[in-house]
Amino acid sequence: MGLNDGELVYLEIHDLSIREVKRIKFKHEIACVDATPLGDDDVEMDVVEDEEDEDMSTKTQSTPPRKRTLRASHIAVALWTDISVHILELPTLRETHVENLQGGGVRGVQARMISVI
């Protein structure tokens, strides 16, 4: 979650309670954040499978939905003033990469939305 003055807070929700995991501060205001999980290498998945009857015709009750937890391993944070994107590792919020968007002769570039794909 991006707050005022460039502060970023990483929260986790477990069993209907919210817990602050880590907090860091950037030198510039946060424009946008994305924490979309990427592929099998970048997510943790806990899937609880129900035992299924071999003969589906004898099953008398519906199968409950599968429990599935997805967690991103990195987040992307774009900043306003220095016009850059920072890739951070979760849950430590350790910076792994910075991309300056002012380069390449493009003027007037400003991140307002970021999507990790």
Q: 76 burial class (0-12, 13-18, 19+ CB within 10 angstroms)? A: buried
CA-to-CA separations, 92 to 10, 56, 64, 68, 101, in angstroms, rounded? 9, 46, 35, 23, 24
- pLDDT per residue, tens digit, the chain (117 aa), is 888 889 999 998 888 899 999 999 999 999 999 988 876 544 455 544 444 445 544 445 555 555 556 788 899 999 988 888 999 999 999 999 998 887 655 566 677 777 777
Q: Give the domain ranges of the chain.
A: 28-47+65-117
